């Protein structure tokens, strides 16, 4: 079993305080450069195009409130994982929710 190394050469995510403005700039830069990658990730793990778009939006909201990294090299993998998890959550929610069938007043009178 390999253990994570600490010290030189170990991949560590910086954990400094992030300002909302800094997160916003990182998100804008990430979306400008890597939107195709994130869209593919969302589509791969969603059941519909609407679910994929919803997953991207939810991941962006989470990025703005939770991301603590300092650069795009940390932001892309973080967003890919978050997009995937958001797509799964949305798919589970939609699968559990019963379909809603709206009956019009004429449908009820025709059945009588």
Q: Phi first, then psi: what are they for 14, rounded to 5°?
A: -60, 145
Higher pLDDT, 109 or 94: 94
Region 57-64: mean pLDDT is 97
Let me know if residue 112 belongs to a domain.
no
Residue 34 lies in a domain: yes
Indicate whether 8 belongs to any domain. no
Angstrom distance (rounded) from CA 69 to CA 62: 13
Number of domains in the chain: 1
65 within domain boundaries: yes
Q: Percent of the chain scored above 70 by pLDDT?
A: 70
- Examine residue 78 and state whether it is found in any structural domain, yes or no: yes
Using CA atoms, how far apart are residues 59 and 48, in angstroms rounded to an integer? 16
Considering only residues 13 and 28, tell me which one the structure prediction assigns the higher pLDDT: 28
pLDDT tens for residues 73-96?
999 999 999 999 999 999 888 777
Is the overall model pTM greater than 0.85, yes or no? no
pLDDT at residue 109 in the model: 53
Residue 13 lies in a domain: no
Question: Is residue 56 situated within a structural domain?
Answer: yes
Q: pLDDT for 26-55, tens place per residue?
A: 999 999 999 999 999 999 999 899 999 999
> Would you list the DSSP string of the chain?
-PPPP-STT----------HHHHHHHHHHHHHHHHHHHHHHHHHH-SSHHHHHHHHHHHHHHHHHH---SSHHHHHHHHHHHHHHHHHHHHHHHHHSPPP-PPPHHHHHHH-
Structural domain span for residue 79: 29-93
Q: Is residue 10 part of a domain?
A: no
């Amino acid at each position: 079993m390999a253990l994570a190394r600490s010290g030189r050469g170990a991949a560590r995510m910086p954990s400094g305080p992030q300002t909302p403005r800094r997160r916003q700039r990182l998100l804008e830069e990430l979306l400008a450069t890597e939107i195709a990658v994130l869209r593919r990730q969302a589509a791969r793990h969603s059941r519909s195009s609407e679910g994929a778009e919803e997953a991207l939006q939810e991941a962006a909201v989470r990025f703005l409130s939770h991301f603590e990294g300092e650069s795009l090299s940390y932001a892309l993998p973080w967003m890919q994982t978050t997009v995937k998890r958001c797509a799964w959550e949305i798919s589970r929610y939609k699968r559990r929710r019963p379909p809603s069938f709206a009956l019009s007043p004429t449908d009820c009178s025709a059945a009588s």
